[in-house]
Structure 1
């Protein structure tokens, strides 16, 4: 059975066919494609079966038609004369009429004819079960049924077309679209325009449609009804999906472009949004003042959510005839938000060097933001100051050592202006006031900016600045929260995706979560092509820090080879002390301290010009302490520890770092007090510096001559890292005549021990440490002799106890 003829419908047709009452006329009304002709024929056959009367296919002129039953198809195409003749036959003769028609056009004479019908059949769309019956057996899967039903909206003719041509791929074949050519070619011009407007997404905007159709708004509904009667349009005025595909395939592109342009111009004149209309026209090359104006308006609409599209729309405005300098600043802004700082700087410079160009202050702020990302904070501050953005200028000036207390900007207190003001206040407080107050202020700035920050071009984000303050102050939880929220909110657009991810990776590294830090670094470096100088400096420093913490000499050497260019490309500023300190420790470990002498001197000068603010100085003191200890310069390390102790007065967070620094000095001098070491390590752990805490305990364990203290401190290091504590052996030797076991190994022996217990061969260990396999074997022999191990397995067991898990020490 044909799926259109459901059992219920077949039963009703049978009942209608057997009705022998005079004037038992029947009307079949539905849009095109709903099977009216099929039903007309089925009714005729049913009448023949029920009465024995052979129905006649009625064609004009009807005054010459004879027969008891007259079947009339497409009655909506008949003229008034023919319709009046049919009505005469229906009322003045025994002829029984079965009339099929579309619901529009509905001439009064057709309406009068259909009013005579005692029954009506109103075909409806097919449901999924009926669609399944029309598909070939091999395609009667849920996926194919859903696809066909969605594409055709269940219109029977469209289902049949797709069923005939569909393959296993879920796509509409070209032959199915080609079958629409005849229907589209016969459409009234106004109906076709409406369909093209529906394809453009205008919907039932009667004012726009009136402009497009060159008619009064009150008559647009007639065109809409005519379009619905084709079956190509649903009740809400949207195209059936397969019909939309057919229109795009069959109607020439220039015609569709013209319709969109007309609609955009009309909507723009009414102050409406034009982005949905102009987006598909970006690469069409259309021109004219109206098109250029529409492209500009669409670009402004796209900027908050899709700056790359906005930049392309501004380019299309130029192609349409707008002078490049007229939209240069706004296009530069869009490019910068999209992450194309090179293009943004080129356009901004063109505008700035053209005195009569509009939006020169906008161009200046774009250039200033781009330069900040490239580490040129001084030049950035000059441009912001010229553009009248004193608070952003203050950020750049403070970054290079010139403290400026910027006044608030004039204008309404918006979320953006409030966030910028809080950000500037927080930075000023970080230099002159209390760290907690500074951090709290910048955190509020980040929160305030979140709802509106996606389309704001910034020299630095409050989330990034807040994370830096939090990292300097060892508030890792705050840094993590700020950065995760900024990433989720898209604060600052594309230029800050990498920065926020890198700082999040740094936070993980500082907390000892090295795998997560490595994942974060990889993700950040995959986000865009080349990294900007500021991001590159942080990325190299993270790579260096991970290699140093893992004890991977080869990886450290590779990272250090990349660091040279990063250091040269980015000048020293207040916001790069973290990577500078990490690189200083790597330089000391690789005996290449001369590479960073100039940068460290510049950093100290910068700090001095700001009055040595502890919050900003602490990371340099901390890294300087460890670099000096690595280099074997205890007197320099003591100077850093003393500076930290002076800054710690009245601040508990700084006191933890100062206490740990003092403890480290004592351990390095061989004075290991287990209680003090464990207390300092636990305090470091308490502020989130897990890796440093475990390293302090581990280092102390290797330098004590007290077996009980060694085991206790190794257990402390393992527990800080969240790893199981090893089974304890006797803390003193039970062999007669032996003194307590001494375990004071050298730094090189500890490095060899860590790599040996990890399973590397002597050759592999030598490759990692840049020494020969023979030298490695010599170190192992010495350790075996000093530890009194009677076998290799016993030696490995003791070395595991000594070095604990990988990454405990330098």
Structure 2
């Protein structure tokens, strides 16, 4: 049995000819590939080399193969086009002759004579199957033609040609002809012309069969026979020819770039007539599949039966895939108004907000619309507004709808009203009650509304628990698409606002697992995962998540979250450049969003980032609006505690102790009601105030620094301890406080894995070079002196110091030095010993 080898035409000549030249006596080689795969060019190369080596070519067309002299060569292209008699003669020659036989053929599995020839070659020679070119091979081919093809352009060429050899060459030739302007448009136009030239050479029967591949119906002999009006044998031959034409991928799908040229060459009327016959055949036989029906509608077939079939299929399908079916049903002629509401919901789930908005707004302005459809359309528009960061617009929509018409979405409406600070409207929507069957969607929406209303007055832990239960009920329901972010995101935010990072991570992990990757909720849940990681001190994990999310696909709310995370990470790392860049991107988003309860965390990070950059005035009005939302709700502890803690931190960063007082007072008032989270923050705020007033209490600072660590604010606690260490006069107390800071920073990092040396420094371990720099830095050497000692430049020393400061999350140079001293760096004996 022959060895079957897979090659490309671009690299195949040397390998094929090596097989021909190395054999003695009878040699048989078959080069097999689709049309346009480069077989003819490869055989021309073989002929040229045989002639150059003095080998006689007995026949080039396969007609005289019965009388080939020993040692001569027979080279036959397009063996699939030979008559059965000629194929039989070639088979006899291979079995009994003593010649070199090189053949090229398309795969034609239904051609009996060709199948017998291939079987003989397989037993006596070698078969080379030509495969498409990969993107990397397209780059190489371009280089051989003198063209520098970028990875992006190579991928474009691969996508539009399927890697077919001659299509790739057409694209590269176009690029070479206008190398200065070679881009996706240039090569796409060239490949389109190449496709059209191929199609013009095909017979009408083949074009009709090829048209079936444009709708993804597969190539069934019975369908082909009925559509092309041929017998079964001819139908199987047409299927072979279509699959081998070089324009169809393995699952019998037409290359997208060939769709329009095929319509043009076939003629619009005939093209649609073929599709109509296909639909009639499959619909009447009960074998029509949904994806074929969508393809038929999207190619322009209009038939009431097709529209009804697609609408029914969309009703049965999951929402993510139903959106395309509804659109196809409308194209086929189904009544758009009758499915507008359901289509708008499906469009939201699939991420097509433009279509969803258009459909839902149409429902709002239509006459004779049921209350249920009206409330759903409002919920769709309100959910889109929430995604875009304008929850005030969502509230306006629900106010227009009114409690009496809110029905199943009354709970979602109530949640939105609480989030924008309108507790009166929220109570009215909850009083209206949730109408409709007791489905998970209705029940979960009611739970969400009740939990949000309760969060105004009940302790944070209880409210977070209720919101978590609502999120569990709503997961996987249609109503989940209308909640700002998602019900899970609301629950996660509540957990973050009370410092329960463990529960937040648990909820968001389950939410991500239930998401469809790339969906709107998936992006938001990923960002909340990153936020939780940042608070837990896993800066690397948070960076990894944010950096993998496509920024272009984020709406304003998610974009603001993403940039706020970058601001927070840069601030904690002391990365001024990164902070400035992230702040600049975030500020552009501020004009597109409205403050609400669900935006308090990102606004808090931007507040601190703005102060660090001296840009506090840019965000001041937004912070005032957020504060007003909280005042309108009576300063609910669950949502306001974290906001006021950001206020405390803002006053510290701005070195304005008096600005801390209103926030500290608000935290004290919440603590007086028994809120333990507020009590912790209030105590820590008081300790900070005394540190700023240069009268730190080391015992108090240590207590509240550790408390902050326990409630998910380890970075803040470490900063409190390290700042106090700089201001206490007693060396022992300073050392103890620095040890607290070090412990809190270490607690927020991942543990050292087996085989790693335990880090001597807080946070990530310093490199060997950074250890040397740290020791000399603590001893007081200048950058120039350290550089001379370590045989590096002063500038390089400066870079090492900057990295050390970021690793320690030190807010200042003096803090960095204090931390390094407390961790044992700069001991003279050890440094001199090295």
TM-score when scaled to structure 2?
Answer: 0.59
Pair 700,409 (structure 1): closer, same or farther in 2 beyond 3 Å: same
Match of residue 380 from structure 2:
366
Match of residue 713 from structure 2:
689
Instruction: Give distance in 1, aligned partners of 2:93 and 2:531.
Output: 81
Instruction: Give distance in 1, aligned partners of 2:118 and 2:446.
Output: 61
User: Does the 8 Å CA contact 2:91/2:116 hold for their aligned counterparts?
Assistant: no
Query: Residue 702 of structure 1: CA displacement?
Result: 1.7
Match of residue 133 from structure 1:
126
Q: Which of residues 503, 513, 523 in structure 1 aligns to 2:538?
A: 513
Match of residue 618 from structure 1:
641
**1:274-673 to 2 correspondence within 5 Å?**
274-281=289-296, 283-290=298-305, 292-293=307-308, 296=311, 304-306=319-321, 309-310=324-325, 313=328, 317-318=330-331, 329-355=341-367, 360-373=374-387, 374-376=390-392, 377-382=394-399, 385=402, 386-388=405-407, 389-401=409-421, 402=423, 403-404=426-427, 405=430, 409-452=434-477, 456-490=481-515, 494-524=519-549, 526-528=551-553, 531-532=555-556, 534-553=557-576, 555-557=578-580, 559-560=582-583, 566-589=589-612, 598-648=621-671, 650=674, 652-673=676-697
The DSSP-based 3-state class of the residue aligned with 1:569 is: coil
Task: Give CA-to-partner distance per residue, 1:451-507, whole Å, 9 cap, x none.
Answer: 456994544311211111111011223323333433343269733344223323322
Query: Residue 725 of structure 1: CA displacement?
Result: 4.4
Instruction: Give distance in 2, aligned partners of 1:539 and 1:197.
Output: 46
Match of residue 771 from structure 2:
none
Query: Residue 337 of structure 1: CA displacement?
Result: 3.4
Pair 627,304 (structure 1): closer, same or farther in 2 beyond 3 Å: same
Query: Residue 441 of structure 1: CA displacement?
Result: 3.2
User: Does the 8 Å CA contact 1:278/1:298 hold for their aligned counterparts?
Assistant: no
Task: Give CA-to-partner distance per residue, 1:587-619, whole Å, 9 cap, x none.
Answer: 544566555555445444433443432111111
| 2:735 pairs with 1:711 | yes
Instruction: Give distance in 1, aligned partners of 2:284 and 2:506.
Output: 46
Instruction: Give distance in 2, aligned partners of 1:124 and 1:45.
Output: 10
Pair 299,272 (structure 1): closer, same or farther in 2 beyond 3 Å: farther
Pair 302,310 (structure 1): closer, same or farther in 2 beyond 3 Å: farther
Match of residue 149 from structure 2:
none
Query: Residue 642 of structure 1: CA displacement?
Result: 4.3
Instruction: Give distance in 1, aligned partners of 2:545 and 2:586.
Output: 19
The DSSP-based 3-state class of the residue aligned with 2:726 is: helix
Query: Residue 585 of structure 1: CA displacement?
Result: 3.0
User: Does the 8 Å CA contact 1:300/1:310 hold for their aligned counterparts?
Assistant: no
Query: Residue 325 of structure 1: CA displacement?
Result: 5.5
User: Does the 8 Å CA contact 2:410/2:432 hold for their aligned counterparts?
Assistant: yes
The DSSP-based 3-state class of the residue aligned with 2:349 is: helix
Instruction: Give distance in 1, aligned partners of 2:211 and 2:696.
Output: 83
Instruction: Give distance in 1, aligned partners of 2:194 and 2:614.
Output: 73
Query: Residue 563 of structure 1: CA displacement?
Result: 5.1
Q: Which moved more, 1:559-568 or 1:664-673?
A: 559-568
User: Does the 8 Å CA contact 1:332/1:348 hold for their aligned counterparts?
Assistant: yes
Instruction: Give distance in 1, aligned partners of 2:504 and 2:121.
Output: 53
Pair 271,480 (structure 1): closer, same or farther in 2 beyond 3 Å: farther
TM-score when scaled to structure 1?
Answer: 0.60
User: Does the 8 Å CA contact 1:502/1:539 hold for their aligned counterparts?
Assistant: yes
User: Does the 8 Å CA contact 1:453/1:490 hold for their aligned counterparts?
Assistant: no
Aligned length: 617
Instruction: Give distance in 2, aligned partners of 1:471 and 1:326.
Output: 43
Instruction: Give distance in 1, aligned partners of 2:497 and 2:585.
Output: 25
Query: Residue 634 of structure 1: CA displacement?
Result: 3.2
Pair 130,408 (structure 1): closer, same or farther in 2 beyond 3 Å: farther
Query: Residue 244 of structure 1: CA displacement?
Result: 7.2
User: Does the 8 Å CA contact 2:570/2:578 hold for their aligned counterparts?
Assistant: yes
Q: Which moved more, 1:427-436 or 1:595-604?
A: 595-604
Instruction: Give distance in 1, aligned partners of 2:663 and 2:741.
Output: 25
Pair 242,466 (structure 1): closer, same or farther in 2 beyond 3 Å: closer
Instruction: Give distance in 2, aligned partners of 1:664 and 1:351.
Output: 56
Q: Which moved more, 1:422-431 or 1:192-201?
A: 192-201
User: Does the 8 Å CA contact 1:511/1:688 hold for their aligned counterparts?
Assistant: yes
Query: Residue 442 of structure 1: CA displacement?
Result: 2.9
The DSSP-based 3-state class of the residue aligned with 1:134 is: strand
Instruction: Give distance in 1, aligned partners of 2:297 and 2:205.
Output: 31
Task: Give CA-to-partner distance per residue, 1:644-689, whole Å, 9 cap, x none.
Answer: 3443465555544344333323333334344443333333333332
User: Does the 8 Å CA contact 2:348/2:481 hold for their aligned counterparts?
Assistant: no
Instruction: Give distance in 2, aligned partners of 1:303 and 1:472.
Output: 34
Pair 435,253 (structure 1): closer, same or farther in 2 beyond 3 Å: farther
The DSSP-based 3-state class of the residue aligned with 1:135 is: strand
Pair 229,558 (structure 1): closer, same or farther in 2 beyond 3 Å: closer
